[in-house]
Chains A and B, each alone.
Chain A
Amino acid sequence: MNINDFKDELMTVGCSESKILNDNEIYSNCTQFNVQAISLLLKKKYKLKFIGEFCYEVDSSKFMINILFTNSKNGYFITLRYISEDIIVSLQDVFEQANLFEREISDLFGLKINGGKETRHIVKHEIWEDGVYPLRKDFEIDRKINEKFEINNYKFKQIIGDEGFQIPVGPIHAGIIEPGHFRFSVIGEEIENLEIRLGYKHRGIEKIAENMDANKLNLLFERIACESSVAYSVLYAQLVEKLLKETVNPDIKSFRVILLELERIHNFLADIAGICTDVGFSYPSKKLNYMSEIIKQLCENLTGSRYMRNTVIPLGINIDVDKEKLLYVKDTLENLLVRIKYIIGITLESFTFLDRVENTGIVKMKKAKKLMLTGAVARASGLNYDVRKSFPYETYSKLKIENNTEEIGGVFERYKVKIAELYDAFTFIYKSIDSISNDIKRDRPVIRLKNGTEGIAIVETVKGELIVYGKVGENNNFDRLYFKTPSFTNWQGLSEAVLDEIVPDFPLCNKSFNMSYSENDR
């Protein structure tokens, strides 16, 4: 159904008002009494995908709860919204993952979850003082959260019995990894339940973002998660360009694709190397890590930063690039690809390697859909969805022709999908370099946002689908920025993948997901 028809259709199911903004976003109002029924209808009858829920303050003590859906076939967003004073109507019965979003809103805005079973804190840890809701407007920007002295323990789900025992891991892990707590409930050798507790790195980025000038905001976006710096800055560029209804010239678009795909290459090389490390296959792992390093140095050569930071900006580009340098990039990549293929070939021929990764950590397609998995992880489980194809941005409508999918959804399938996307990335870069005809010159126009405009932007990072909702406020600042990061939902997929596996297989499953703690916690 196309977007105009669907807008009218929404009026028949009980929404009071519908409008279309930015060509592909429908905003519809409903009430807290019919939101549950409408959500169920959108899921069952119209087969829309639920992708998130967020909140912003309308004026003092009135909050707008937004439920975000997508129609990935026709490429548009639907935002169902209702005004509430102190409660969130729980959609936990309709969508399994709704609890995550509701708990986050409840922690940061102080609204009560009405009717949901799962109401534990996500962001707000025990040490926070009571009664503070940092994303409300009456919480000043310079104010800090105070510490509490009497601390109640968090209630973990656990298996009690003669045979069962719990293994707590973290928040600080062995190795060079970010913090997060895992609690395994184990009977004998097999994992019966895994509970993941995150939020340790919560820095309050959404609040910081509300008080930064739009011309500088790309720096903060890049620092949400370092491994996807480019994806985040492209996301910001997409958002601003959508709000201002402007676009950049095709050369810059192609250049952005080159950067995005370079980022994908160095990340996926490290991911593939990580899987080899966790199997104990050191030769390929060392070599692939080395190649990831070479790519990072290539990025440094091209943009002056190993993670290509402060290069992509809205409406322009922040560095000079000449055609010669791009040809050098192409040349280096061509040489490297031969070797990468050789090394990956070694792993695929090794029986001991295959024995370890095959039929390990399986997430079935049905479960993956319920858990709202995205990215390479979802494609390995058979979900045929890629933002680059469904919501093409930059020049992807020409480049991305088919998605890479696998069927079983185990570690080996995730390994294969990542390899396929790695090879794709090389071809995309070659094509993009060929399509750039002139030297790219630095161009940084001043951004002036219009008060009251709102929009949604979407990109595919190395982890999956990343969405931002932005609503502009006064003084060229954003009034509210909400990030639905891929890791936020994908972490739950890991809990599913390790069930009935043995504890020593956990690192392998974890590495095959390789989610970011930093973008989850924000």
Chain B
Amino acid sequence: MKFIFDRIKNGKETIKNPLESNSNSYGKIIVDTSTCNLCGICEKECISGALKININKVEIDHSKCLFCKDCINSCPKSSLKMTNDYKLSYFEELGNEVRELVYKKFNRSLSLRAVDVGSCNGCFLELSALNNTYYDLSRYGVHMVASPRHADGLIISGALSINMKEAVLKAYEATAEPKIIIVLGACGVDGGIYKKGYAVNENISDIIPVDMFIPGCPPSPSAILEGILKLMKSNK
């Protein structure tokens, strides 16, 4: 009975469009080239190697970025700015083929299996946040399933630790075709902050073919959702 009162009083909580830009979230960093004098302070501040000064331009590789904002805070000219554009997911070479395949075969429904290979658990917290009533992932036809044999693909997070290598390869073998692989987080791209660790030998893309990267540290639920939807929607 109390449920019903609560329900009537508070109405529905699921938002209409979780992809709407959130004014507080972090996103792409832009450089104001008119004020930047290439002093190199930001390059020294960046521990993940995402920001580099190349000839006479500041180049930012958002896939490696930890979004710590140290570069922005350290810039003496305030040339760097953070936008709210969280849409950072991108396809690997094979991605386009997969996209068409997904659309044809699954008619917009997708089952994924989550595997963590050595992260801080941030990506998984955000992935499980996607299942709450605010975002409600399942209304898009995307489900997290309990076994790789039920899945169309894997969603992997973290830097590949040597102890997890065998397990992730086995999960990959057990996954049903077309074996879509989505990688979450900066440490999934190139080891991120852990890349100097002795137990992180390879990247995930070295041992299994990756279709899509969703960078961020951790990527916000909207960013993960945007990536998955991009994979599912044919742009034809």
Contacts and interface: CB of A to CB of B under 8 A. Distances in A.
Interface of A: 125, 127-128, 134, 139, 141-145, 147, 171-172, 174-179, 199-205, 207-208, 211-212, 216, 219-220, 222-227, 283, 286-287, 289-290, 292-294, 296-297, 300-301, 304-307, 309-310, 318, 339, 342-343, 345-346, 349, 442, 444, 516-518
B53 interface: no
Nearest to B82: A304
Most chain A beta-carbon contacts within 10 A, residue among B119, B125, B146, B168: B125
Interface string B156-198: 0011011111111001000000000000000000000110111
A203 B118 contact: yes
A290 B132 contact: yes
A107 to B, nearest CB: 11
What's the dominant secondary structure at chain B's contact region? loop
Given A179-B117, A310-B69, A318-B73, A293 B196 contact: no
Contacts of B135: 293
What's the dominant secondary structure at chain A's contact region? loop
B124 A202 contact: no
A204 B124 contact: no
A227 B200 contact: no
A346 B162 CA distance: 46
Contact of B199 (A203, A220, A225, A300): A203
Interface in B113-132: 114-122, 124-129, 131-132
B125 A226 contact: yes
Contacts of A174: 146-147
A144 B201 contact: yes
A293 B66 CA distance: 22
A342 B6 contact: yes
A373 to B, nearest CB: 21
B200 A171 contact: no
Interface of B: 2-3, 6, 10, 13, 22, 24-26, 47, 66-70, 73, 114-122, 124-129, 131-135, 144, 146-148, 158-159, 161-168, 171, 193-194, 196-201, 217-218, 220
A507 to B, nearest CB: 12
B161 A202 contact: yes
A289 B217 CA distance: 21
Contact of B121 (A142, A225, A345): A225
B166 A219 contact: no
A144 B167 CA distance: 19
Nearest to B46: A216
Contact of B162 (A128, A305, A310, A318): A128
B24 A297 contact: yes
